[in-house]
Amino acid sequence: MSEESTDDAVVRRDRFSGGPAREFLSSLADDERIFEADLAVDRAHVVMLAEQDIVDDEDASAILRALDDIEEAGHGGLPDGEDVHEAIETAVIERVGPEGGRMHTARSRNDEVAACIRYRLRADVLALLETVVEAREQLLAVAAEHTETVMPGYTHLQPAQPTTVAHWICSYEQALARDTARLLDAYGRINQSPLGGAAFAGTPFDVDRERTAELLGFESLVENSMDAAAARDFLVETTAATATLATTLSGLAEDMVVFANRGFVELDDDYASTSSIMPQKKNPDTLELVRGRTGDATAGLEGLLTTLKGLPRAYNRDLQRAGRHAWDAIDSVSESVEVAVGAVSTADWPADELAMAAGEGFATATGVADLLAQSGVPFRTAHELVASAAEQSDDPGFAELDAASEAVLGESLTAHVPKAEIENALDPSESVAMRDSRGGPAPDAVGQHLDRARETLATDRDAVDERHSAVDDAAATLQSEVDTYV
């Protein structure tokens, strides 16, 4: 065998000799996101061990001091390790000696990592909730300014009925309110402590699981120890809620792109760009990226479900890949909320152009049919009459409608509705004003909706603030307990 071929064989053998497997197994770099969470979980666990006389106060003090030092050094100061949990434990032992290994008494990395993921995800979801709540507040403020700004409404992208800018905006604020509710529901199931479940079969030590939950701000326990180690459905629920939020934003972005195309809205320069070759263009690039980022969230949900599908109980290394899907979705969508709502709140809505477009395509036809139905004409007959007029003209007025009435009903339209009322109904602003049922686009109806929406928003803001305060209070309690040892 030649020297060159021998070297090639050595290289091939080295590639499959197990050396790279350590790097393949390691999640240390990705775990930077849960570095602070792991330190909090370690501290709560050590405090509990000391309180339960499982670890003596002197060892607890030394371990907690070492954790402070590790936190100051940062994630980049950790020794090599399979993951952040092993690296922190190694760093503690390096500082304390063998007694530092007592930190891992009565737990496994399985319940430890599950607690760290929940701890960090909880913070991320709270941050996302705060962003969505603030976005809703911005939308309601813009809507309040445009309750009488008439605009065209569409179904199938065809002119349908006149509406208002406020009514359109409120439709998305209400969707974001449901997105808020979904995230709050998910938060409740994130905020459960798996600590104390150990590898999956519990521990013989007299641990106090409620105490570690309290110190970390968890509201309850994942009681079954096997489920505590294995459960990642909270990730699925969170990612699904985030993907649904992204879909809401994608719809808003698409509407704004269409409106910009038709001259119904003028985007602020901060939310647009020009062409590199066509100087006259103003492109809604940021909104197109909001649409595009929806794919990040939906792909994350699919990736997460694929990772979890068919996994046996209790812990499997596949789970190491699960959290990143939720993180990526939240990071992507959080920015999309700010951009999409920022584009709406800073845009200029040209009232004259919108009002002119609101009546195009005989968009007021339904209002005329409704008037006839209110006068006693069966709605289906009224529908036929107005449709007949629309067949005769692209923009029928009273004359065309009256002729259709003679053909369909055998008598003048004024036998049922005064001419002035018909002409009012043909006006987009009057057509909007007619639709004053709850949730409709009439200015008064929108005003009442805004009052209710603000009440819902205040309730949601309080819910987010309460959860934030509970987490902050728990962190303060944990620090106070740590201070008694350090």
Tell me the pLDDT of the chain averaged across its residues. 92
Residues 315, 353: Cα–Cα separation, whole Å: 61
pLDDT digits (tens, 9 = 90+) for 107-158: 999 999 999 999 999 999 999 999 999 999 999 999 999 999 999 999 998 9
β-strand 158-164 against 192-193: which pairing, if any?
unpaired
CA 77, 82, 88, 91: dihedral to nearest 10 degrees? Answer: -70
Six-digit token string for 445: 């109806």
pTM above 0.85, yes or no: yes
Burial class (CB in 10 A: 0-12, 13-18, 19+), 143: buried
Judged against a pLDDT cut of 80, whether residue 327 lies above it is answered with yes
Binning pLDDT at 50, 70 and 90, where does residue 263 land? very high
Q: State yes or no: is 156 an active-site residue.
A: yes
Which one is catalytic: 17, 220, 275, 480?
A: 275
- In whole angstroms, give the CA distance from residue 349 to residue 326: 36
The C-alpha atoms of residue 272 and residue 344 are separated, in whole angstroms, by 12
CA 235 to chain centre: 13
Of 2, 156, 276, 437, catalytic: 156
Q: Give whole-number Cα distances, 445 to 167, 222, 432, 450, in Å.
A: 9, 46, 10, 9
The C-alpha atoms of residue 47 and residue 483 are separated, in whole angstroms, by 10
DSSP type of residue 481 = H
Query: Could you tell me the two tokens for 109?
Result: 């990395």
In angstroms, rounded to a whole number, what is the distance separating the alpha carbons of residues 413 and 420?
A: 11
Question: What distance in Å separates the CA atoms of residue 159 and residue 181, rounded to the nearest whole number?
Answer: 33
pLDDT of residue 319: 87
Question: Is 325 one of the annotated active-site residues of the chain?
Answer: no
Identify whether the C-beta of residue 143 lies closer than 8 Å to the C-beta of residue 165. Answer: yes
- Residue 7 is predicted with a pLDDT of 62
Q: pLDDT, tens digit, for every residue of 396-435? A: 999 999 999 999 999 999 999 999 999 999 999 999 999 9
Residue 190 above 60 pLDDT?
Answer: yes
Q: What's the gap between Cα 403 and its chain centre? A: 53
Give me the pLDDT at residue 22, please.
62
Burial class for 213, CB neighbours closer than 10 Å (0-12, 13-18, 19+): buried
228 contact partners, CB below 8 Å, separation of at least 6: 111, 114, 194, 195, 196, 197, 200, 221, 222
Distance from CA of residue 473 to its chain's centroid?
25
> Mean pLDDT, to the nearest integer, of 165-185?
98
pLDDT at 70 over 90: yes
**pLDDT for res 325:** 92
Task: Determine the pLDDT at residue 162.
Answer: 95
Query: In the chain, pLDDT over 90 holds for what percent of residues?
Result: 83
349 Cβ neighbours under 8 A, 6+ residues apart: 146, 149, 151, 165, 264, 265, 266
Res. 477: pLDDT tops 50: yes
Instruction: State the average pLDDT over residues 463-481.
Output: 98
CB 135 within 8 A of CB 338: yes
pLDDT at 1: 44
